[in-house]
Amino acid sequence: MRRRPVRRKLVVLAVSAAVVSVGAAPPSAPATATPKKEPVAVGYGGAVSSVDADASAAGIEVLRKGGNAVDAAVATAAALGVTEPYSAGIGGGGYFVYYDAKSRTVHTIDGRETAPLTADSGLFLENGQPIPFADAVTSGLGVGTPGTPATWQTALDAWGSKRLSPLLKPAERLAREGFTVDPTFRSQTESNQARFKDFPDTAELFLPGGQLPVVGATFKNPDLARTYAELGRKGVGALYHGKLARDIVDTVNDPPVDPASGRNARPGELSLKDLAAYETKRQVPTKTKYRDLNVYSIAPSSSGGTTVGEALNILENTDLSKASDVQYLHRYIEASRIAFADRGRWVGDPAFEDVPTKELLSQKYADSRECLIKDDEVLTSPLAPGDPRNPVACATGDKAAPTTYEGENTTHLTAADKWGNVVAYTLTIEQTGGSGITVPDRGFILNNELTDFSFTPASPDVHDPNLPGPGKRPRSSISPTIVLDQHNKPVVALGSPGGATIITTVLQTLTGLVDRGLPLVDAIAAPRASQRNQATTELEPGLWNSELRTGLESIGHGFRQNPEIGAATGVQRLPHGKWLAAAEKVRRGGGSAMVVTPAR
């Protein structure tokens, strides 16, 4: 085993009159002075919303210097790789949705990680049996070819106004000079402590001296600062060719685990050929008509756009604005259940699978599924899928495909500029802490996205579209969404982390905003329910401890508690060139909404 020495070292929607115009980034704050987090900001010149104040400030800095929404999104994402290293970074991938104000069109980039070209359906099998999920998570086997740097360059080449190098400078400075450790960063480190300590390079960076980072302390990552500087000088091709690429391949194929730990960190099969062959995909977005709004999102390989879109189509024929709170949640839960049943059967990487995207998003198919919902009964999960290519009203005859597990971390950012361009961008390294394996001397953790594949067929009698394959993208639930009005002008953009709960978070936030009349920040803050074709529905404490739960149980719903679902951000277009940015009030320690110039 190779050993390395351990170094020391709506229609525009109305806004509540109570909204306060706060959240502008300090014009000349030092890099180590973390701006105050605010969940909502209103003003001019553009907006950025993310989970982290330093990251949002990086995007605002770019907007102030004349950059557009794409430039700001890249700068914000790079900063999130510093301050949210367990959720995102250049070792991962994601999906980028862009609205071009000049042409009034929506475009997308699939920057999902890919399996090695040598992978087959038995990637996670040993002696014919699937390896334990926890073993796959912390291994080289789970690491896919990173797509995030290529996504940045693809977006900048197509729609950006600045080069990559200056956009990485705020993040490079943040990594070099440090950011302030908050309770969320410490908690996420603690939850990964047991595996982080088994990898000397990870332990040195995130557990210095064997200790957890202290809240209020300054956390620095000079290795990542140097890596960003290298990408700025050489371009993102440096990650897919040359020494950095070799470092990644060596780390995946011979994980630098402490031999004394006893951990079996299985090697992967990533090659330089895999990195050199990686390409993002520019593709047509999904489009769904809902309440006279045009809802755009990402098409497969993510299931986000098709599943949110199908659920919206199912809800289209119900006036949710007049429903009671119980009936609203009942309909939302059942629409989610049905859409997830179809997702499990039909959605995979379209380069390998015949995915009926158009049919899944047809109103005709949604109507054939909507009739399953009864006001006084609850559907039983796992619910069987329908056949979107041959819709049969209320059909329940096929075999059900259970929902596979997806790590519940990731991060989402939204950005808008003074010209009216908008970005919704969700990026990830899979679950909190990714693979747990840091590339030595490079300052970033590698993803474990390949664990989003089914290890074995979800149902032995039904084709599983999400088995591994050579160069295949695992199915995702990421759902960056941009909503336009009838004139193709932006209404709102939003998205969330949360694994498979991303879909339900985006769906619930959209219906809360559009149907229930909630201001965006309140639609984001509302307590969440998540049904993913499972026997019980997850509830956050705000619903678990409410009378609504009792009302839903009287219909027949069953529940289990989840302390926190998702961490959404969004931007909303207001009249007269104004933007509203919104983020979480509490989840993940609260988010950070900022505008260039606050409204008075």
DSSP string, 552-590: HHHHT--EEE-S-----EEEEE-STT-EEEEE-SSGGG-
Q: Are strands 592-598 and 293-297 parallel, antiparallel or unpaired?
A: unpaired
Are 144 and 450 within 8 A, CB to CB?
A: yes
Among 535, 478, 148, smallest CA distance to 308 is for: 478
Could you say which of 138, 251, 286, 410 is catalytic? 410
Among 107, 111, 110, smallest CA distance to 90 is for: 111
Q: Are strands 592-598 and 579-583 parallel, antiparallel or unpaired?
A: unpaired
Asked about 32 being catalytic, the answer comes back as no
Packing angle between helix 69-83 and helix 53-64, nearest 10 degrees?
Answer: 150
Among 479, 581, 457, 482, smallest CA distance to 530 is for: 479
Dist CA 51 CA 561 (whole Å): 23
Q: How buried is 336 (Cβ within 10 angstroms: 0-12 exposed, 13-18 middle, 19+ buried)?
A: buried
Which residues touch 439 (CB under 8 Å, ≥6 apart)?
91, 201, 247, 248, 251, 445, 446
- The residues facing 207 across adjacent strands are none
Residue with tokens 């994980």: 255
Which residues touch 441 (CB under 8 Å, ≥6 apart)?
7, 201, 223, 247
Locate the DSSP E strands across 514-558: 529-530, 537-539
| Upstream peptide bond of 382 is cis (omega within 30 degrees of 0) | yes
Q: How buried is 261 (Cβ within 10 angstroms: 0-12 exposed, 13-18 middle, 19+ buried)?
A: middle
Amino acid at 141: L
Report in angstroms the alpha-carbon separations of 412 from 49, 271, 499. 9, 29, 12
Dist CA 560 CA 538 (whole Å): 5
The most distant pair of C-alpha atoms in the chain lies apart, rounded to whole Å, by: 67
Are 559 and 539 within 8 A, CB to CB?
A: yes
Dist CA 434 CA 76 (whole Å): 20
Q: Are strands 569-573 and 281-283 parallel, antiparallel or unpaired?
A: unpaired
Token pair belonging to 566: 């998702």
Token pair belonging to 145: 């070819």
* Catalytic machinery residues: 410
